[in-house]
Amino acid sequence: MQQPTLQDAPGPTRDSDGAELIACPSCDAIYRVQVPPKGGKAVCARCKTVLIRPRRKAGLRIIALTLAITILVTAAVFFPFLEIHAAGMGNRTSLLDIATSFRSGILVLVSVSTVSMIVLIPLLRTALLLYVLVPVVFDRPPARHAREAFRLSQVIKPWAMTEIFAIGCAVALVKISDLARLDFGPAFWMFCLLVVIVVVNDAYMCTWSVWKSLEDRA
């Protein structure tokens, strides 16, 4: 494991573009860039946040995982999510049914927020990542406005809550399992798989490497 060396902010007589500097997104510490070998990582000496983590063939893996996320999120909207049986009655629902269950009043905001955070924003982010990464990975010039697209994908990342929704549903279902018989539909298992894929995808993603590739190919 190789750590970058702490470096003061550049003064007027130094390289003013900051190309050799990197800031920790967690504690704002400034370091001089030292790229670790493939498979290694550079971490912040203050808060241990990973700053640089290059991996071999990471671009192709990220594209494949991003496509998988897109397919799973899209399919999960329409497939049955859960079926509940209690007192001789049953009901099956999908995410689309849940999102459109509130059609009037202030609860419409709940539907809009649900659809946005677990479907629309994740799909927008995957589309932005594919737009940025595909040309770079296949040795082509960056797409038009690739920097702005990648910056937007990073800004909306905290609002893409598909995996958080899956974990929250799992916790809630455990609590009501004693009250009714639950049958999990395909969409539920898709969301479970999404949790794993999102974690793996974030592990492969090195933000610094993407920015560096965009700058070198501009």
Question: Rg of the chain over CA atoms, in angstroms?
Answer: 21
| Tens-place pLDDT, residues 102-142 | 667 777 787 788 788 888 898 999 999 999 999 988 888 89
Which amino acid is present at 160?
A
Which amino acid is present at 211?
W
Asked whether residue 201 falls in the same domain as residue 107, the answer is: yes
Q: Which tokens is 192 given?
A: 């479970």
Confidence band of 149 (pLDDT split at 50, 70, 90): very high
Give me the residues paired with residue 50 across strands. 43
| Tens-place pLDDT, residues 26-81 | 888 888 888 888 778 888 888 888 888 888 888 899 999 999 999 998 888 888 88
pLDDT of residue 11: 37
| Interatomic CA distance for residues 100 and 114, integer angstroms | 10
Asked whether residue 93 falls in the same domain as residue 172, the answer is: yes
Asked whether residue 47 falls in the same domain as residue 80, the answer is: no
**Cβ atoms 22, 44 nearer than 8 A:** no
Asked whether residue 185 falls in the same domain as residue 203, the answer is: yes
Containing structural domain, residue 5: 1-54
Asked whether residue 213 falls in the same domain as residue 192, the answer is: yes
The string of DSSP codes covering the chain is: ---PEE-PPP-TTS-TT-TTEEE-TTT--EEE--PPPTT--EE-TTT--EEE---TTHHHHHHHHHHHHHHHHHHHHHSEEEEEEETTEEEEEEHHHHHTS--SGGGHHHHHHHHIIIIIHHHHHHHHHHHHHHHHHTT-PPPTTHHHHHHHHHHSGGG--HHHHHHHHHHHHHHHTTTSEEEE-HHHHHHHHHHHHHHHHHHH--HHHHHHHHHHH-
**Cβ atoms 63, 133 nearer than 8 A:** yes
| Interatomic CA distance for residues 207 and 170, integer angstroms | 31
Asked whether residue 30 falls in the same domain as residue 68, the answer is: no
pTM over 0.95? The answer is: no
The total of structural domains in the chain comes to 2
Give the rounded percent of residues in the chain with a pLDDT score beyond 70: 88
Residue 209 has pLDDT above 60, yes or no: yes
pLDDT of residue 7: 40
| Tens-place pLDDT, residues 1-24 | 444 433 433 333 344 454 578 888
